[in-house]
Amino acid sequence: MRLSHFEALAPICPRCRLKSAQAHPLVVATVEQQLQEQVIEGILHCSNPACQLEYPIIDGIPIIVPNVRQYLADNLFYLTLRSDLSPVMASMLGDAAGPGTPFDSNRQYLSTYTWDAYGKYDPAEPESQQGVSPGAVKRCLSAGMELLPRIPEGPAIDLGCAVGGATFELALHTNGLVIGIDKNFSLLQLAQRVLREGTVSYPRRRIGIVYDQREFPVPVTDAERVDFWACDALELPFADATFGLAVGLQLVDSVNSPTALLEETARSLRSSGAMIMATPYDWSPAVTPLESWIGGHSQRGSNAGAAEPLLRSLLTPEAHPQSVKGMQLTNEITNFPWHTRIHDRSIMQYRAHLVTALSVETDA
């Protein structure tokens, strides 16, 4: 955790905000390990005497979520997972664990997200899939930035940053501090290593549970302006009007409540702020309840089940009963090509709906 980001963004206790709608600042209570201005291990405290909840900093990643105890319990496997195993031993453990286990799922996530974010820098990356190349997340971000009428001033936040590919790209497009947040600790660990060391080390999936360990340097510019935190995009630990720009790529259909995501994003933006969102509306009932989907059901309704008109109305003042207060849709690309690599013989093709919206004045 960069102290410069902590001081400038002034995070608040998400539990206090959730329970009492009060903004109590967090303070650095304990530093167990520090590297220059980066706290590698330590503890943050809520400054509210009636709360004083502790938030850990592990591997340079502050974990600031409303129910921190539950998060630590749910993610204990990933928090304590070793990263120093040889490829041979990792392969043996993978065979023993088998497919569908947390060990295998973790490697699949790392393979998919890291390949897209940094695969173009891997000298060993083969050209085995015609027309498929890493960098979809960066291309989508660049397209979204071009849709904006102006680049907002102030800090920027990458919601659902995964391994940080779009976060570093966001720093190239802006001049202020940039923070990437995600709830997946393993992905954040990889992002933090890239930030500190400029090196990627990840298991690239070949097929099945066969992986090749890849390690290579990546260019990192403006590293001092970037940091990665473990936060919930639906319960951001920041005061109102903190950010100038918020980006959420392939996140709308990956949260419990898409409308809550849009509302929380709008709350965090300054009066001159902007948001960029992209989604293929690839809903999963295990993540998002059917009732919370944006489109994809109720085809007997006025939109015939279409998602795009509903998202447009949610980002247009008074166009829908749940229209997000203070946001105005400004531009969009209805079908932005996006692909995800699964393994050597499998890719997933998407057509993402890319939209931009600006903060607007509203009646109190």
**Model confidence over 70-97: pLDDT tens digits?**
999 999 999 999 989 999 999 999 999 9
Residue of 163 and 320 predicted with greater confidence: 163
Average pLDDT, stretch 46-68? 97
- Residue 359 and residue 266 in contact, taking contact as beta carbons nearer than 8 Å: yes
Q: Looking at residues 145-160, what average pLDDT do you find?
A: 97
**Assigned CATH for 87-359:** 3.40.50.150
Report the distance separating Cα 246 and Cα 170, nearest Å.
10
pLDDT at 332 over 80: yes
Angstrom CA distances, 136 to 141, 254, 292, stand at: 9, 17, 27
Give the C-alpha separation, 349 to 337, whole Å.
8
> Nearest to residue 9, comparing CAs of 264, 246, 275, 237?
237
Interior angle at CA 263, CA 259 and CA 267, nearest 5: 170
Neighbours of 159 (CB within 10 A): 28
Strand partners, 338: 350
18-46 residues labelled b (16+ CB within 10 A) or e (exposed): eeeeebbebebeeeeeeeeebbbbbbbbb
Mean pLDDT value across residues 189-195: 97
Q: Which of 277, 185, 181 is nearest to 229 (CA)?
A: 181
CA distance 155 to 310: 29
- Per-domain boundaries in the chain: 3-68, 87-359
- Residues with Cβ < 8 Å from 265, sequence gap 6 or more? 159, 233, 246, 248, 275
Pairing of strands 269-279, 178-182: unpaired
In the chain, the percentage of residues whose pLDDT exceeds 70 is 98
Give strand pairing partners of 319.
Answer: none
Short-list 281, 341, 236, 279, CA closest to 144 = 279
Q: Categorize the per-residue pLDDT at 362 as very low, low, confident or very high, splitting at 50, 70 and 90.
A: confident
Q: How far is CA 37 from CA 2, 7, 169, 212, 301, in A?
A: 6, 11, 22, 34, 55
Please state, in angstroms and rounded to a whole number, the distance separating the CA atoms of residues 359 and 315: 10
Percent of the chain with pLDDT over 90: 90
CB 46 within 8 A of CB 15: yes
What mean pLDDT is reported for the chain?
95
Query: Rounded to an integer, what distance in angstroms lies between the CA atom of residue 96 and that of residue 56?
Result: 32
Vertex 202: Cα angle to 228 and 184 (nearest 5): 40
- The tokens of 283 are what? 């809903």
**Confidence (pTM):** 0.95
Place of tokens 């997946």: 184
